[in-house]
């Protein structure tokens, strides 16, 4: 596998466009379109929140029932959530407009929205935006980047990753983009993720690969403990790499899953590190657990701890908060066996050995915790399983941003 510079237009046959439709924001792009020149197999995973936005309900139906998909239309600023039949109708109207402009079937169009909950979309502006983007579709790197920028809300950076791998003598590419900064919590977050590939693969294995991978990637991040109404990850495969079609779990399928996992992991980490108001990516790695499921629960418990996140912001090696978060996770373990290490680009330092603080330097610990990416490694010393979760520090700016989000 090779990491390349790219986004959703990196795989063959995929084009992108963006525009400033004026849906909520002023003086910036707020709509994006992704289009494949040939029909795609589609897979999707969606929010676990009982309150599901109209685009989620619409896309679940399309992914399940449509034979193929060719386009995705995304808007930022208004979430189209809690908008009833009118909001669902706007999903249909958007798809209908895109289908007409692109000369494809209505059920070949997926839609996605992110932003403020409870507001109706200005459908005329959406339809106008669709018309503009359909004429400006491009397979360039810049088109992909501008599309990634257009779907941002409180994000401070665009999030894109692409990789290639060899399958049956052909080069296969997987490229993705996502947005997400706040209302981020394991079990799919306020995030929209779009992953494109030119792999030839069956719809069944495409969905299985995605469903399995989100458990170790997007579902292992948290910014603030809030699970969104709009979470969506869509995976489209158009087969233009012309590799032997992947219809069974062979070596090519393993390579595809590896590439998909890399793309999803990297953009998930970008989301965690770009949490609203965040100054640091906070990674929690639990090793030596009795099972992978327990390792996941333990790592997520720490990364979701507001007290621990605040300590990371203060560059404070307050290890008691981590041990506390492990303790209330619901997993049974022997606290007198736990080891804890902090590490970053500045170095590594052991803080706890067998559940008790070692004689460490607070100054050295602070220096290590002052980096923009920090890792806590908790060894439970009870087995061989491990898992990693990602989050960020908790800052004053998080409150400022969310105290005034609707204005």
**Active-site residue set:** 190
134 Cβ contact list (under 8 Å, min separation 6): 17, 33, 35, 98, 101, 102
Instruction: Give the CB-side neighbour count of residue 344, counting CA atoms within 13 A.
Output: 19
Q: What is the CA radius of gyration of the chain?
A: 22
Tokens of 365: 């610990």
What is the spatial distance between Cα 24 and Cα 156, in angstroms, rounded to a whole number? Answer: 17
| DSSP, residue by residue, 165-221 | EEETTEEEEEEEEEE-SSS--SSS-S-EEEEEE---B-HHHHHHHHHHHHTTTGGGB
H or E element, residue 44: strand 31-46
Nearest of 194, 187, 289, 273 to residue 235 by alpha carbon: 194
Contact 199, 168 (CB under 8 A): no
Contact 112, 74 (CB under 8 A): yes
Residue 236 CA to chain centroid, in angstroms? Answer: 15
Nearest of 163, 344, 370, 171 to residue 267 by alpha carbon: 163
């Amino acid at each position: 596998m090779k990491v390349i510079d790219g986004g959703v237009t990196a795989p063959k046959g995929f084009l992108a466009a963006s525009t400033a439709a004026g849906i909520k924001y002023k003086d910036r792009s707020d709509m994006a379109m992704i289009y494949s020149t040939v029909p795609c197999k589609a897979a999707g995973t969606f929010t676990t929140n009982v309150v599901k936005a109209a685009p989620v309900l619409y896309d679940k139906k399309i992914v399940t029932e449509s034979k193929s998909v060719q386009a995705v239309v995304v808007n930022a600023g208004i979430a189209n959530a809690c908008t009833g039949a009118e909001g669902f109708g706007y999903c249909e109207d958007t798809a209908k407009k895109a289908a007409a402009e692109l000369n494809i079937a209505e059920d070949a169009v997926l839609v996605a929205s992110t932003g403020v909950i409870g507001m109706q979309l200005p459908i005329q502006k959406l339809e106008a935006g669709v018309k503009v983007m359909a004429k400006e579709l491009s397979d360039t790197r810049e088109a992909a980047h501008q599309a990634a920028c257009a779907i941002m809300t409180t994000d401070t950076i665009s999030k894109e990753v692409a990789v290639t791998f060899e399958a049956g003598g052909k080069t296969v590419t997987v490229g993705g983009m996502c947005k997400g900064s706040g209302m981020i919590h394991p079990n799919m977050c306020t995030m929209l993720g779009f992953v494109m590939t030119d792999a030839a693969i069956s719809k069944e294995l495409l969905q299985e690969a995605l469903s399995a991978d989100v458990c170790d990637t997007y579902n292992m991040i948290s910014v603030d403990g809030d699970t969104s109404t709009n979470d969506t990850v869509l995976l489209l495969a158009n087969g233009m790499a012309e590799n032997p079609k992947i219809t069974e779990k062979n070596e090519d399928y393993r390579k595809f899953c590896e590439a998909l996992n890399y793309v999803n992991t990297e953009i998930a980490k970008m989301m965690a590190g770009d949490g609203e108001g965040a100054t640091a990516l906070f990674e929690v790695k639990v090793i030596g657990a009795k099972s992978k499921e327990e390792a996941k629960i333990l790592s997520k418990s720490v990364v979701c701890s507001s007290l621990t996140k605040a300590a990371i912001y203060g560059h404070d090696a307050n290890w008691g908060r981590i041990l506390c978060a492990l303790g209330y996770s619901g997993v049974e373990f022997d606290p007198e066996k736990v080891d804890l290490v902090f590490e970053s680009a500045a170095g590594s330092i052991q803080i706890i050995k067998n559940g008790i603080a070692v004689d460490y330097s607070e100054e050295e610990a602070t220096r290590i915790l002052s980096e923009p990416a920090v890792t806590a490694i908790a060894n439970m010393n009870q087995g061989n399983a491990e898992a990693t979760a990602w989050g960020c520090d908790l800052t004053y700016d998080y409150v400022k941003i969310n105290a005034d989000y609707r204005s």
